[in-house]
Amino acid sequence: MTPRRAAVLGHPVAHSLSPVLHSAAYRALGLDGWEYTAVDVTEEQLGGFVEGLDESWAGLSLTMPLKQVVLDLLDHVEPLAGVVGAVNTVLLQPTGSGRTLVGANTDVHGLVAALREGLGSGPGERPVGSALVLGAGATAASTLAALAELGCASPTVLVRSLARTGGLQRAAHRMGVTPRFEILDPASPLVAQVDVVVSTLPSRAADPVADALAGQAAAGAAAPRGVLLDVVYDPRPTALSRTWSQAGGTVVGGERMLLHQAAEQVRLMTGQVAPLAAMAEALEAALLPSVTRS
């Protein structure tokens, strides 16, 4: 296979673990000469960077805020990415007149696969009847799509400001899902009552929820009965994940979403099934220092 280039773009992007995951996949697949790097690109620089891509490029991974900015630069947006309103993957496909830029979203795939690890998959897999989403950003939109795929089209979304939910409400309308929006109350009893909780909040922003959950546990309140996925993976475990586990709930680390969405990107960019085990091993090795720090 002809050597190709790929990269993750963002600002900042030095912290990204995508190079670890994709490079491990290339080695395991024997893709000699394939290269995956991290490139610091701002919103203002994105158009120029994309315009300069040549035939050596296989694709791009995008972090926020580029997932939405890139939409106007693409020739085609896959339906899922369109309804979610966020593209985290750009594929460069050669055409007779040059190249076509295709936008895709693998975050939904990553969320579904990670949650299935916690829920249990197979013929007896139960649909998600109730769910709670913390936060209203781009990852929350992908989360709504993932929950709908798992059977829950009417989750509750807890946000710090209802005035900042317009984008998520529009995405929900495009998906045909009907979430209920409420102001985030760290002590909300729903946290311990639903089948699935997904926190899309930034690092440490969910700590008040963890504190409230610990207080409820100390007071003899009912333990969480559902699966928690905290998309944050540094520090690992997060305060919310640690408290959830101590209370007896099932936790899926955010690194599992990262792994599965990257595996789908590898499949789309290379045309080969991603070597999940090799990628997971490389990811665990890269994350070990953060576990030691915590």
User: Would you name the residues annotated as active-site residues?
Assistant: 67
Q: Phi and psi for 220 in degrees, rounded to 5?
A: 85, 15
Question: Is the CB of residue 42 less than 8 Å from the CB of residue 11?
Answer: yes
- Our separate counts of H helices and E strands in the chain read 11, 12
Give, in degrees to the nearest 5, the angle at Cα 47 between 41 and 52. Answer: 90
Amino acid at position 210, single letter: A
Q: How far apart are the first and last CA of the chain?
A: 42
Give the E-state strand segments of the chain in sequence order.
5-10, 35-40, 57-62, 76-77, 89-95, 98-104, 131-134, 156-159, 180-183, 196-199, 227-230, 250-253
Q: How many CA atoms lie within 13 A of 143 on its CB side?
A: 31
270: amino acid identity, one letter: T
Residue 6 · residue 61 · CB < 8 Å: yes
